[in-house]
Structure 1
Amino acid sequence: MRKVYLALLFLFLIVSCKKDARVNMPLTKDGIPVTVKLEQNKPGNSISPQFEGLSYETQLLINSPNYLNVNNTSLIQMLKSLGPGILRIGGNTSDEIAWQGTERTPLTPANTLTTSDVDKLAAFADVTGWKVLFGLNLGNNDVGAAVDEAAYVAGRLKNNLYLLQFGNEPDVFHLYNHRSPVYNYDGFKADWEAYYNAVIMRLPGAPLAGPDVAYNGDWIRWFAQDESSHVKLFSGHHYNCGPASKADINYKTILAPNYIFPNFLQTLSASAAKYNIPFRISECNSVYGGGKPGVSNVFAASLWALDMMWQVAESNAEGVNFHGGNGLFYSPISTENGKVGPVYYAMLAFKYGSKNGVIIPTTLITTQEVNCKTYASANTDNSYSVTLINKGEKDILFTLALSRNASTAKEERLSAPAITSADGISFSNSTVSANGTFTPSSTENISISNKSFTVTVKGSSAAVVTIR
């Protein structure tokens, strides 16, 4: 959850942007005019049905045994409201906690994972239907303990085991004193292969992922070249900026275009395509170091997260896992009071805006500089969905130009009282109830004429439009 780099900010648009100097498009009473062309006849990659996910520290299983627990019915419902997903257990503490293959007792040492902890996790996975991406301790370099842990985890999770990983952010192991300052990829490769050989001997065919790096694209390329025949998934992390202690980070920081992330996605995507192995952003969030108040826990984080998920989806990724836990401002679901945060509402908007469909290219045309993003998908129910994200302060009047006939369009809004609001966030004019249920309650009908219609998206908000 901590990173060693500072993201540079630079203008970058996922959508294809064009400016037509021959057309005068002044600000109207409805907002800045922007045209979005949908290339419905050019479908792209499919969106994974288990795209969305959450990430937690291994320590959470020990310190908060009632959280990922079958008795936490509201959390179970919150996960079900998102649909199928991946629950990742790992983080920094996965390389600090020792495995003890016995039940937990009052005499169990601190920072020790037991069979009791894994049993509770397995029961939780059963009732949610979410599969588990489980991180083993590579930090202490105890191969024997890792093999025993892997065997128990696989035996208890059974079909709910998504994948096993060795270590968390090994490219920065030296910062946590897991390895010496000269530790490099070659050292990691030797460590990883020692774990691999031992685990496979005990668990032939064990599903594995890696390298789960913090940021190092070279390690991803090298790992893909060396270990592609041994893994089922490439994984890496992303935090938009940080550390949280940095004074000049504010909500505008995460709404500004990020220059580094597209390059990281390209590295993962290229390796995935070359070796025909999917990739996943297995840990991510807005500001590393636990998130920042006024940034990570306000509505700006909803718009950031929604945009980030679509960027990852367009890169043909398997999905994302938003990190959360005790005392973290960016948690999608609070471990302290069970309330959902801004990122969770973004996850809902993505669910309803993607519908496990197929990516449809969009082209954005405007004569003015606007901070907006547009994404679209063709859905299995023969509908089309368009997500319109307005990160700027001014309203935008989107004109959607279709390439196919349509008869109806409905709009659902992701909104809040203000961009800095921590409360009052809603999607489709609905909020998540205390028991975890979510039911969209408000859609706005839109008239379509000659394959075209307009939608006004208020400043600092987003909308999901479903077209039939």
Structure 2
Amino acid sequence: MKKIDSLRTVFDKPIHRRGFLLGSLALPLAACGGGGSSNTTSPPSQLAATIRFSQATSGALLNSTYAGLSYEKTHPNLFIPSNANLINLFQLLGNNILRLGGNSTDQTSWNGLIPGTTAITQSQLSNLAAFLQATGWKVIYGLNLAGSSQTPDANNARQEAQAAAATLGNSLIGFEIGNEPDLYVSQRGYRPSGWNYSNFLSEWRSLAQVIHSVAPGIPLTGPASSNEYKQFTDPFAHDAGSSISMLTQHYYIANGQDPASTIGKMLQPDPKLAAMLQAVAQSAAGAGISFRIAECNSFYDGGAPGVSNSYASALWALDYLFTCALNQCQGVNLHGGGSSVYSALIDNGTRITAVNPLFYGIMLFTLAAQGRAYQVDLSVTDPSANFTAYGVSRQDGGQNILILNKDSSRSVQTTVHFASNIQSLKQWTLTSPALNSQTGILLNGAVISLNGGWNSTPPIVSTSNGSLTLSVPPITAVLLQSA
């Protein structure tokens, strides 16, 4: 959860072009509660689009581990084997990855070894292990780097790493040492003025050696930078790439407490995100390791009320996740927990109290995530329409296409061309009363309940030699899967 407005960008979706614009640069949202700019020129009342599945430009491989969740480390009482509702909700997202970290990583210690920090206990670890076994999820587990008196605590790292490795077993896929070290001086006060990347690298290596001595089979990840990817993440890939299995970076659009953090801003493209993704992906590839956005969401500091918990956040997530995939990022963890409005699931510390719209977006993405992401060829009669589409070449040989119409008033008559031998399609539809709605969201006409209940069978539609024409209503997402 970030503190620096000036270093935050506006939003992700890079402008993909294959003859036509894959998305929009204008977004009329004045009537949608998002604070969009007014437009004195009326847009065309009718829209038409053509989508062709293309395998010319490929992205990352997608599966159920791609879009996971991230929670603060001080949330252990939620992850217990008796929390049946949370277990059921997690299982809706398949065998996935949980990241336990956040700012609280550097505010916790094993049994309270570091004065002034929250104690992590063996009982909590055992509950987490049982919860992970029940869900089929794996965990990236954060360890304190900040320490005390502006110095890392090697004894704490040794004891907690040893206990976590022994307790979590094969559910533990990596340790994350510290959280957002690029903010240790400017925002956290953990280190004195002048402390920099070189100091971080030295401290990280010292704890990495300690952790490796007691948990030699557990991979390390990092550096979990907030935003300084050029100063921290890219050089870390070069300097520590041989010591880690996963390069990690964080991303948020802007400060959720800023009045300018609106639905309109959330749904606007942000080419700066694509630049970051491409740079970090290149650094990871050069080091021969994977790359994951281990913490992200719409707006930081808990999100923007009425925005981060609106239906628009579900559409944002779909665009964001595919943008990451098309730019070679190999996984994402969406941060949340507690009553923060940006959380996919709201909880009171021990149980789930609400399923936010964001969860629906992650759920639809997970249904689509069955193979390699591909950019599609897309044309729209009005290039300013906020209309995007993405393809997936499935591992079973099938094809998926996700269509997002974020226009608040216009339907889009859409012709979709799959491979000519595809004769029928499953159709999943995500709908809501309005972009700013916080309730009434339906996935294939069904609500996802607090107990994880959701039962909907997608209708089957026929194609003509692989082609289908359908009307995509305003603010609607449609996933088409070859049957």
User: Under a length normalisation based on structure 1, what TM-score does the superposition of the two structures give?
Assistant: 0.90
Please state how far the C-alpha of 1:361 moved relative to its aligned partner. Answer: 3.0
Cα deviation code 1:322-342 (max 9, x no counterpart): 111122001111112432111
- Describe the superposition over 1:153-172 as per-residue Cα deviations: whole angstroms up to 9, x where unpaired: 11100000010010001111
1:109-160 deviation per Cα after TM superposition (whole angstroms, max 9, x unaligned): 8622222221211121111111110010001111111111111111100000
1:68-107 matches, within 5 Å, as: 68-100=79-111
Aligned to 1:47: 62
In the alignment, the residues of structure 1 paired with residue 333 and residue 117 of structure 2 have an alpha-carbon distance, to the nearest angstrom, of 27
Q: Which residue of 1 aligns with 2:208?
A: 196
1:316-465 paired onto structure 2 within 5 Å: 316-336=328-348, 337-355=352-370, 357-368=371-382, 369-393=384-408, 394-443=410-459, 445-465=460-480
Deviation per residue, 1:171-217 (Å, 9 max, x gap): 11111111123221101101111111121122223311011101112
Question: Shift of the alpha carbon at 1:101?
Answer: 7.6
User: Using the alignment, how far apart are the partners of 1:11 and 1:426 within structure 2?
Assistant: 24
Letter in structure 2 aligned against 1:112:
A
Greater shift in the superposed pair: 199-208 or 259-268: 199-208
Which of 284, 288, 299 is 2:300 aligned to?
A: 288
SS in 1 for 2:139: strand
1:315 aligns to 2:327 (yes or no): yes
Could you list the runs of 5+ residues in structure 1 that have no partner in the other structure? 20-26, 103-107
Deviations 1:35-77 (A, max 9, x none): 112115776542144112111111112xxx2x21111101001
How far off its partner does 1:15 sit? Answer: 5.4
Aligned ranges 1:1-400 → 2 under 5 Å: 1-4=1-4, 5-8=7-10, 12-14=14-16, 16-18=18-20, 31-40=46-55, 45-61=60-76, 65=77, 67-100=78-111, 111-140=118-147, 141-174=152-185, 175-218=187-230, 219-241=232-254, 243-336=255-348, 337-355=352-370, 357-368=371-382, 369-393=384-408, 394-400=410-416
Give me the whole-angstrom Cα distance separating, in 2, the residues matched to 1:408 and 1:162: 39
Give the 3 Å change call, closer, same or farther, for CA 285–215 of structure 1 in structure 2: same
The answer to whether the Cα contact below 8 Å between 1:14 and 1:311 also exists between their aligned partners in 2 is no
| Contact persistence 1:52–1:84 (CA under 8 A) | no
**Cα distance between partner residues in 1 of 2:295 and 2:311:** 20
Look up the match of 2:40.
none
Partner secondary structure for residue 265 of structure 1: helix
Q: Is the 8 A contact 1:210 1:234 kept in 2?
A: yes
Q: After superposition, give the CA deviation of every residue in 1:308-357 in whole Å (9 maximum; x if it has no partner).
A: 111112223331111111220011111124321111101110111222x1
Equivalent residues of 1:40, 1:402 under 8 A apart:
no
Q: Aligned letter for 1:456? A: S
Equivalent-residue separation in structure 2 for 1:86 and 1:265 (angstroms): 20
| Displaced runs of 4 or more, over 6 A | none
The number of aligned residues is: 448
Contact residue 241 and residue 289 of structure 2 kept, 8 A: yes
Can you list the C-alpha shifts for 1:4-62, whole angstroms capped at 9, x where unaligned? 2231469842353527xxxxxxx998x4111112115776542144112111111112x
Equivalent position amino acid for 2:360 in 1: Y
CA distance in 2, matches of 1:161, 1:12: 33
Report the TM-score when normalising by structure 2.
Answer: 0.88
CA displacement at 1:442 relative to structure 2: 4.2
SS at 1:55 equivalent: strand
Distance 2:344 2:12 in 1: 27
The residue number in structure 2 matching 1:24 is none
Which residue matches 1:23? Answer: none
The residue that corresponds to 2:31 in the other structure is none
> RMSD of aligned C-alpha atoms?
2.2
Please list every run of 5 or more consecutive structure 2 residues that lacks an aligned counterpart in the other structure: 22-42
Task: Give the distance between the partners of 1:84 and 1:126, measured in 2 at CA.
Answer: 10
